[in-house]
Amino acid sequence: MLVAGIVVNMLVAIYARRRRRRLQAEEERVRRRRRIWVHEMNQTRSTTGVFNRFEQLRQYPDRFHSQFRMQPQTFQYLLQVC
């Protein structure tokens, strides 16, 4: 009987310790805030809209290239030809 009581007490202690660690880990995740860098062009997207970004894209050639897959000068040339 004494051995069974000791085993039960050990199991309860192990369970309590695991639960405490899990709760501490969860609290740590909640406490930790991640910082996210957002390009200034995307910060104004909610006020200016997604489709009105052409002029903003022209100010950032690397972003322009990722959107249109061409340099702004090439895009301007195509606009003049058409």
Q: Give the pLDDT confidence of 26-82 residue by residue, as tens digits.
A: 888 877 777 788 888 888 777 777 677 777 888 888 888 888 899 989 988 998 987
| pLDDT for the residue numbered 14 | 93
Domain boundaries of the chain, sorted by first residue: 1-36, 52-82
Within 10 angstroms of residue 65's Cβ, the number of other Cβ atoms is 15
Q: Is residue 41 a contact partner of residue 53, using CB atoms and an 8 Å limit?
A: yes
Distance CA 1, CA 26 (A): 38
pTM score: 0.47
Instruction: Give 1's pLDDT tier (boundaries 50, 70, 90).
Output: low
